[in-house]
Structure 1
Amino acid sequence: MERKNELMNSVLLRQNPHNVCEWLNRVTIYEGNFEKQIETFKEAVNTVNPKIQVGKVRDLWLGFAKLYEDHKELDAARKTFETAIQSQFGGVSELANVWCAYAELEMKYKRPKAALSILQRACAIPKPGDFENMQSVQARVHRSPILWAMYADYEECCGTVESCRKVYDKMIELRVASPQMVMNYAMFLEENDYFELAFQAYEKGIALFRWPSVFDIWNTYLVKFIKRYGGKKLERARDLFEQCLENCPPKHAKYIFLLYAKLEEEHGLARHALSIYNRATSGVDRTDMHLMYNIYIKKVQEMYGIAQCRPIFERAISELPEDKSRSMSLRYAQLETTVGEIDRARAIYAHAAEISDPKVHVKFWDTWKNFE
């Protein structure tokens, strides 16, 4: 009865010797017996076949190294990791996790150079002939984003600006960087006062990704560029905005148009700003058109008065969806009433009445009735 758990576990492992979870249970059963636990781990990593594993063989290797670490046998833990990185795994991410755990072990015991050296080995591009099978996980692990992200983090903490740049540039060259990694790179350069290099990093990221993934990079790049140069490099800023809007999907265009128009208002020409608002009314998503028309009309009214707003109101009423068209008509009619153009206002109400059911749009008919 005392050995019941062990015997049950043996039965389950005979049924399926490739079950990682049961091997870990077996290690737990031998809690307190270090020699037996080590023996179990050795047997487990030699038995489990990654091609038919249940669970992840990575967990066995990590548990094995952790056991040595807990007993302060760090050299044995390192040897375990060295054996692990040569072993077979079910996928690249498993091997990447083992490399990361190996580097974390060195970092934990205040050996940053050793940790960086491990990650450098992990991310090294294999030469032809390094591996018999170039399809093995060892030959492909250098493209793992998990490894590169950790390598870049450690370089930021312990390396130099130059060594960190090399890591990020290599990541972009291999096309394993995510949009977030590109932004981290640019922010790192900014913190070290390399502003132009930071802008180059954004541009490399823009070349790497397509919409909508590239939206955050463009957004951050444009904001930082305006903040840094304001109106000093206006032509360059305009080029950037035009480049951004060239392939920008309508769903993401609203914020870019507003930023572009704000730049022109503050540092450029008023008529340029108005032409951008004009482009925005047809360049954004249908859900944002109403907002863009409202902003455009407000700006034109402030600069040129109501006469110039009329064609914009008319275009908005014809292009917007019914609900928004109706509210735009009411606004237009109220504006005409304010300046005493009663006949014009009446004509607008009459036009909008065609898309307004008296039973449904009671508010519209009440407004017209009150007007009369």
Structure 2
Amino acid sequence: MAALVAMEDVRAYLQSQESMEAQFEEDVARNPYSIETWTSYLNLLHTKPSGHRLSKERVALFRRALSYVPLSYKLWKRFLDESYALVRGLRIDRPELVELTLLYEDALVHLHKMPRIWLQYLSLLDHLRWGTRTRRVFDRALRALPITQHKRIWGPYLAFIHAQGVASTAIRVYRRFLMFDPSGREEYVRYLLSMELWEEASIQLVHVLNQPHPPSSRHALWMELCSLISSHPDDISSALNVDAILRSGVHLFSDEVGRFWCALATYYMRLGMFESARDVYEEGLAAVLTVRDFSLIFDAYVKFLEALVTAEMQDPTSPELSRTLHLYEDLAERRPLLLNAVYLRQNPHSVAHWHQRIALTSTSASTTSSTPSPILIVQTYTEALKTIDSTLAVGALSSLWISFASFYEAHNDVANARAVFEKARHRLASSFRSLDERAAIVCAQIELELRHGAYDAALEFARAACRQKPVMRSLKLWHLRVDLEESLGDVPSTRSAYEHLIDLKLATPVLVLQFTAYLETHEYFEDAFHVYEKAVQLFPAFPHAKPIWTAYLAAFTHRYQGTKLERARDLYDQVLNVAPVADMADFYKQYAALEEKYGLWRNAQTIYEQATTKVESLPHVQLELYQFYIKKAQQLAGVVAVRAIYERAMGHLPNETVWQLGLEFCRFETLLGELHRARAIYAHIGQCCDPRQHEDSFWSKWHAFEIEHGNEETFLDMLRIKRSVQMLYATVNYIGTAAGALNMVASSTNQAAPTSITSSSTIVPGDAMETLEKEDQTTNDEEIDIDEQPVPEAVVRGKVF
């Protein structure tokens, strides 16, 4: 029963298939140009392929359809794809693949404007390894397709050429491609380099560099060309003007100058043109502007000469061996000069480098040239002075002129030395920017005349220079002028020079003191004092005025002693009104010494008291003054006066210095036998001496005093005072530490209540005292326990007052 049903279904399907085919036949008969009808018909007709070919019925249907619509890309594409799908994977020598190529040829007769068909066809031919036919089909495709679609063909074409590896064919293809796309020239260069076609690669690389905007970095391309030329000169020499190309690279890339020069020299060296290579090295050394390029060329040059020497040594009798060795030695000797020339090319206005060149010339001229050394040095000086622009000079240009003149002087040619200075002086207005340089030239010329005994000429020249602007403002020149006036001139001319110097307001405190010393030497005392008065007006501020006032007061006191005491007092009052506190002590001491020697001790005592009051802001100076005052009082006054000074000082000095003078006061009273007074002084100054800091400087001395002069009661009093002072300073430090801790807690816990801080950080002085006393009991070695430990025997046996 089931078989009957299946047969019925097959019969029904065949009847429907036949009816549909009949219907399509009627449709294509009515409209044979409908691509949709043919496509539907092809979809209906599914016949089994015959091997690796389409069935004859399907091929016939395709042919019928394409005979009506031969330009249908859709039908041709389907026909080709179905045919290709059946032969995919077959060996390349199967006839079915040849038939497929013929089918593509038929399709391209009608679809030669379709790049996809060309590309499929070319892919098939490349698979079949038909090189020549593939290349010809590529050419046909380029001729058939419009130029806008050539880009789709050239990519596979170039890949095919690379795979074939035939250089002549590739060159022709690339030349055609560059007509289409010149930007591919760099890719062409890469291919030529891979094929070791150096000549064509260099030509094309030059073309790439001539483009306005090359695809790669111009610097990288130049470096590649440079390396290519130097590595393969035999292949490139006839194709390019290598010398011109590399020299143009020198001007284009300032940071690679050395590499270009070395490449050019290597090019000539590989061609066997050694003299040309050496000329290039020499030219490069004379042209580079940086030390890096110089080092690169110099090292390559040395290696080149070493290679030549090694080659020449194969034949020791060769005449070229000695010449090459001489060139090698000469290069080594010339290296400092060549390097100096590099610095001068960087900045030809550098005075220091010209000095260096002159020094190198003087040491190397005798060995590197037949020209006498002095002539070369003179030529170098002349070149330097012609080259340097004074407005751009780096360094003192005057030093070059002075060095030039000194060179002539060293060779006993004073006339030319004078001529150099004269020429330098004539260029003063334009050649030297600063006053110091102009003055240096003039002073050097004066010193030249002095060295050769022309004293009068030197003095007259100095006087004339001090009248010329602007060099007359030079302090160096004036120093030399006044020295010459003192040595060679007379008193009026010397005074005139100094007075002119002061009128120009060029004088310094040293010059003023020098002038006054000169006047005092010639006993012009009042004139010297007049100069002092001018000087203190010129230099009213300290510290410049201090040496002037010191010398003025000393000279006045030495001259008049006590005859003009009132005038001297006016001078001291004048200086004390303008002197700062730090400088007052010296002047007060001098003032008091004047009163001690020529006046009254009472006046000196008033001065000392005034001095100790004025310097209160400087405790150590005040202490020193009191000590000096007391020393003088001990020499000139009695014990009562000295004691009064001590008592006054104890009330004026601050705590940081009062204990030092207090110890001296104690020694004074002890020597007088006033032990009660001494002990009271110890007790007084002990209040300001923290035992932790003044144990050795104060408390040990009081301890020794009590051991020697005290008794048990006084010794115990000293210990009680020491303990109370120790507790006092400990309490102060404890409170300060606690206050700092409170501040830190308050800053870190801003939201905490004030009461909580107070309750948790309450300071109990009593507890601090107890703690301190416990620490003292365990750590203080000098403490005496009154209840348990005995008093030292020396104290018990001491005097009882």
- Give TM-score scaled by structure 2 length: 0.42
Matched, 1:313 2:646: yes
Residue 275 of structure 1 aligns with an amino acid whose one-letter code is T
Structure 1 counterpart of 2:515 = 185
C-alpha contact (below 8 Å) 1:56/1:90 kept by paired residues: no
Structure 1 residue 70, shift from structure 2 partner? 2.6
Structure 1 counterpart of 2:595 = 264
Question: Number of aligned pairs?
Answer: 359
C-alpha contact (below 8 Å) 1:190/1:198 kept by paired residues: yes
Matched, 1:93 2:433: no
| Structure 2 CA distance for aligned equivalents of residues 360 and 74 of structure 1 | 74
| Structure 2 CA distance for aligned equivalents of residues 66 and 367 of structure 1 | 71
Structure 1 residue 208, shift from structure 2 partner? 1.4
Structure 2 counterpart of 1:168 = 498
| Structure 2 CA distance for aligned equivalents of residues 179 and 359 of structure 1 | 49
Structure 1 residue 48, shift from structure 2 partner? 1.6
CA, structure 1 residues 261+8, in 2 after alignment: closer, same or farther (shift >3 Å)?
same
| Structure 1 CA distance for aligned equivalents of residues 484 and 447 of structure 2 | 10
Matched, 1:322 2:655: yes
| Structure 1 CA distance for aligned equivalents of residues 420 and 548 of structure 2 | 41
Structure 1 counterpart of 2:349 = 18
| Structure 1 CA distance for aligned equivalents of residues 487 and 595 of structure 2 | 40
Structure 1 counterpart of 2:609 = 278
1:137-190 Cα shifts (integer Å, max 9, x gaps): xx3x32221111110000111111000111111111112111111111111112
C-alpha contact (below 8 Å) 2:355/2:400 kept by paired residues: yes
Alignment of 1:1-372 (within 5 A): 1=327, 2=330, 4=334, 5-31=336-362, 32-85=372-425, 86-87=427-428, 88-124=431-467, 126=469, 139=470, 141-209=471-539, 210-284=541-615, 285-300=618-633, 305-310=638-643, 312-336=645-669, 344-363=677-696, 364-369=698-703, 370=706, 371=710, 372=714
Gaps of 5+ in 2: 1-326, 363-371, 715-801
C-alpha contact (below 8 Å) 1:57/1:90 kept by paired residues: no
Structure 1 residue 33, shift from structure 2 partner? 3.1
Residue 442 of structure 2 aligns with an amino acid whose one-letter code is W
- Name the stretch that deviates more: 336-345 or 199-208: 336-345
Structure 1 residue 355, shift from structure 2 partner? 0.9
1:238-283 Cα shifts (integer Å, max 9, x gaps): 1111112111112222221111111111111111111111112123
| Structure 1 CA distance for aligned equivalents of residues 374 and 669 of structure 2 | 89
Residue 480 of structure 2 aligns with an amino acid whose one-letter code is M
Secondary structure at the aligned position of 2:412 is classed as coil
| Structure 2 CA distance for aligned equivalents of residues 26 and 45 of structure 1 | 13
Residue 198 of structure 1 aligns with an amino acid whose one-letter code is A
Structure 1 residue 301, shift from structure 2 partner? 5.2
Residue 581 of structure 2 aligns with an amino acid whose one-letter code is P
CA, structure 1 residues 33+366, in 2 after alignment: closer, same or farther (shift >3 Å)?
closer
CA, structure 1 residues 295+67, in 2 after alignment: closer, same or farther (shift >3 Å)?
closer
1:47-84 Cα shifts (integer Å, max 9, x gaps): 22344333321221011111222333323222221221
Secondary structure at the aligned position of 2:483 is classed as helix
- Name the stretch that deviates more: 3-12 or 153-162: 3-12
- Name the stretch that deviates more: 300-309 or 13-22: 300-309
1:27-63 Cα shifts (integer Å, max 9, x gaps): 3344343333223222212222344333321221011
| Structure 1 CA distance for aligned equivalents of residues 568 and 648 of structure 2 | 30
| Structure 2 CA distance for aligned equivalents of residues 26 and 189 of structure 1 | 49
Structure 1 residue 326, shift from structure 2 partner? 0.7
Structure 1 counterpart of 2:52 = none
Secondary structure at the aligned position of 2:688 is classed as coil
Secondary structure at the aligned position of 1:176 is classed as coil
CA, structure 1 residues 33+300, in 2 after alignment: closer, same or farther (shift >3 Å)?
closer
Residue 406 of structure 2 aligns with an amino acid whose one-letter code is K
Structure 1 residue 206, shift from structure 2 partner? 1.7
Structure of greater relative contact order (alpha carbons < 8 Å, 6+ residues apart): 1
Larger of the two Rg values belongs to structure: 2
| Structure 1 CA distance for aligned equivalents of residues 420 and 566 of structure 2 | 59
% identical aligned pairs? 39
Gaps of 5+ in 1: 127-138
C-alpha contact (below 8 Å) 1:245/1:256 kept by paired residues: yes
